[in-house]
């Protein structure tokens, strides 16, 4: 068996399942209801009236984003038409930014509905927007069953914030 040393995941594994300050247990709700002053700490890179974009703290690939409604809704049919449109427009905008700034060749966009479908936070809908590049499946993933993330979350946050500030 191969082992990969990843000490940054320990906080996720051993961390409290409830917010330490008595706030919402759902990390997406904490991010959505933040004041803005704590956005960087919560990895919130963008907000609209109906949605929030959060960097995935444990990404599958560079640029992995979570796009979710502000409201804690776990079912697709609970979204209002306005929320649904806003979420789609936000995803389109961020895919454009990532294509421009990170030269992404494509994207995996996914929504896992319910725990049996793989939803890690089944009570709060969120789309995974994962940039992909030609050749990003190199020998590490194929022979070593290991993914290499070559960009820090701070660097990604700065890149996206810089592009959003241009508008």
Contacts of 56 (CB under 8 A, 6+ apart): 43, 64, 65, 66, 128
Annotated catalytic residue, options 46, 64, 124, 126: 126
Distance CA 152, CA 155 (A): 5
Taking the CA of residue 87 as centre, how many other CA atoms within 13 Å lie in the half-sphere pointing to its CB?
A: 23
Distance CA 102, CA 160 (A): 10
| 126 classed as catalytic | yes
If we measure between CA atoms, which residue out of 16, 132, 125 comes closest to residue 63?
A: 132
- The interaxial angle of helices 81-102 and 153-165, nearest 10 deg, is 110
List the catalytic residues: 126
């Amino acid at each position: 068996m191969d082992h990969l040393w990843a000490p940054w995941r320990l906080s996720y594994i051993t961390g409290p399942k409830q917010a330490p300050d008595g706030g919402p247990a759902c990390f997406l709700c904490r991010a959505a209801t933040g004041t803005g002053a704590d956005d960087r700490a919560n990895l919130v890179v963008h907000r609209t009236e109906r949605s929030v974009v959060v960097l995935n703290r444990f990404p599958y690939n560079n640029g992995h984003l979570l796009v979710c409604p502000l409201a804690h809704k776990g079912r697709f049919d609970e979204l209002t038409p306005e929320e649904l449109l806003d979420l789609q427009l936000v995803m389109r905008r961020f895919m454009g930014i990532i294509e421009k700034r990170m030269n992404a060749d494509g994207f995996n966009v996914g929504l896992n509905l319910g725990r049996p479908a793989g939803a890690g936070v089944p009570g709060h809908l969120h789309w995974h927007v994962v940039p992909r590049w030609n050749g990003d499946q190199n020998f590490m993933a194929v022979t070593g069953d290991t993914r290499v993330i070559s960009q820090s979350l701070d660097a990604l946050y700065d890149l996206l914030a810089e592009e959003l500030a241009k508008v």
